[in-house]
Amino acid sequence: MEEPILKVENLEVGVKKDTGFMNIVNNISFFLKKGETLGIVGESGCGKSMTSLSIMDLTPASVSLKSGKILLKDKDLTAMRKNERRKVRGKEIAMIFQEPMTSLNPVYTIGYQIVEMIRNHQNMTKKQAYQHALNMLQLVGIPRADEILHEYPHQLSGGMRQRVMIAMVLSCSPEILIADEPTTALDVTIQAQILELMKSLQEEMNMSIILITHDLGVVAEMCDRVVVMYAGEIVEESEVHELFENPKHPYTKGLLESLPDVDEDREYLSSIKGTVPSPSEMPEGCRFAPRCAFASEKCQEDPPVFRVNQKSSCKCWLFEDSTAE
Ligand SMILES: Nc1ncnc2c1ncn2[C@@H]1O[C@H](COP(=O)(O)OP(=O)(O)OP(=O)(O)O)[C@@H](O)[C@H]1O
Ligand SMILES: [Mg+2]
């Protein structure tokens, strides 16, 4: 198998407290291959955003990395100095957010911001960068791109802003794109267009994508492999077909059983009773056990990750007969 382009190993992220370190992300490991799309799914508060912000080194000030490695090819990002890390950001790994206004600056024109981004990472004259910005806007399907370059973010619709942000992050041809709920705030038609756009740009650039989403329909449409997160941990990792046809973890099954009504996409978890525990009140042993229909005595002990077959692994005692990883 080709070496993964990105490997996250035993990552622990959390908040320093007087009483000790409170984990938000607890010892997670996963990898991303060249050209593939990896989905990260899980209920609100499971640590999806903290995981991706850690990869970007963009976590809020109160949140820090406790241990683990983030390997981009052979380089361990966690061992880098801030300024080296900044160079990786944008050029090698870029991120788009749910709300594009978090990455667009309201006081500068679209053109200024894209040109700055390009010139920070690529050796181009202003004129070349401007031309490149124009090409990128056209590539993401923005009409009257030459006019838009002179406009400010607030003059655009949500869908257009999201396209601008995609054009901006892709203008430096990152090898890895992390998209955190990139389309949740958009209406269904625009959402489909943006996803289609990401897919075609991915093919063109052979980019690898980490796609964070609540929407299992989007996962089915876009992803090759999926990581399921629960309460700061990875409870299942599966190839996408395997995940839908033969889900392993009781939590994954719960997610699949509660696929949403079209217009109630935030409600899809109704079939799993209870809520995700907060980082300060994590249950001992298996963190899902208090909500799990299959829980037994054994679950008071924290299960390791078991490799179930070539296509999936699962952190649940039900798969004890498989090999521990
Ligand atoms: N600045 C912060 N300081 C301390 N804890 C935080 C901070 N931001 C988030 N958390 C906690 O970290 C946990 C994981 O949050 P995260 O934003 O990664 O979840 P998520 O899976 O992305 O959820 P969502 O689907 O709602 O975006 C939550 O329990 C949250 O309360
Ligand atoms: Mg999030």
Q: If you take atom 14 of ligand 1, which residue's CA is the nearest one?
A: 47
pLDDT tens-digit readout, 287-317: 999 999 999 999 999 999 999 999 999 999 9
At 109 the pLDDT is: 96
DSSP assignment of 117-167 equals HHHHHS---HHHHHHHHHHHHHHTT-TTHHHHTTS-GGGS-HHHHHHHHHH
CA 15–ligand 1 middle distance (angstroms): 11
Q: Is 45 in the pocket of ligand 1 (CB under 6 A)?
A: yes
CA 25–ligand 1 middle distance (angstroms): 9
Q: Which fold has domain 6-92+175-324?
A: Rossmann fold (3.40.50)
Q: Is 279 in the pocket of ligand 1 (CB under 6 A)?
A: yes
Pocket test for ligand 1, best of 25, 49, 229 (most atoms within 8 A of CB): 49
At 24 the pLDDT is: 95
Q: Which ligand is nearest to the CA of 54?
A: 1
At 178 the pLDDT is: 96
Question: Residue 286 burial (CB < 10 Å; 0-12/13-18/19+)?
Answer: buried
* Atom in ligand 1 nearest the alpha carbon of residue 15: 4
Q: Is 49 in the pocket of ligand 1 (CB under 6 A)?
A: yes
Q: Is 63 in the pocket of ligand 1 (CB under 6 A)?
A: yes
15 close to 64: Cβ distance less than 8 angstroms: yes
307 close to 320: Cβ distance less than 8 angstroms: no
Q: If you take atom 1 of ligand 1, which residue's CA is the nearest one?
A: 60
Give Cβ neighbours of residue 126 (< 8 Å, ≥ 6 apart): 115, 119
At 32 the pLDDT is: 98
Q: Distance between CA atoms of 316 and 215, rounded to whole angstroms? A: 24
Q: If you take atom 18 of ligand 1, which residue's CA is the nearest one?
A: 47
Q: If you take atom 24 of ligand 1, which residue's CA is the nearest one?
A: 44
Amino acid at 195: L
CA 150–ligand 2 middle distance (angstroms): 32
Q: Which ligand is nearest to the CA of 43?
A: 1
248 close to 237: Cβ distance less than 8 angstroms: no
CA 44–ligand 2 middle distance (angstroms): 7
Give Cβ neighbours of residue 84 (< 8 Å, ≥ 6 apart): none
CA 275–ligand 1 middle distance (angstroms): 14
Dihedral sign for Cα 142, 143, 145, 148, please.
negative
Q: Which residues of the chain have pLDDT under 70?
A: 1, 100-101, 259-271
Rounded to two decimals, what is the model's pTM?
0.91
Q: Distance between CA atoms of 25 and 48, rounded to whole angstroms? A: 9
Pocket test for ligand 1, best of 12, 23, 24 (most atoms within 8 A of CB): 24
Q: Which ligand is nearest to the CA of 13?
A: 1
At 205 the pLDDT is: 85
What phi, psi does 123 have (nearest 5°)?
-85, 85
At 270 the pLDDT is: 54
DSSP three-state, residue 209: strand
Q: Is 129 in the pocket of ligand 1 (CB under 6 A)?
A: no
At 269 the pLDDT is: 46
In the chain, domain spans? 6-92+175-324, 103-173
Q: Distance between CA atoms of 164 and 103, rounded to whole angstroms? A: 10
At 99 the pLDDT is: 75
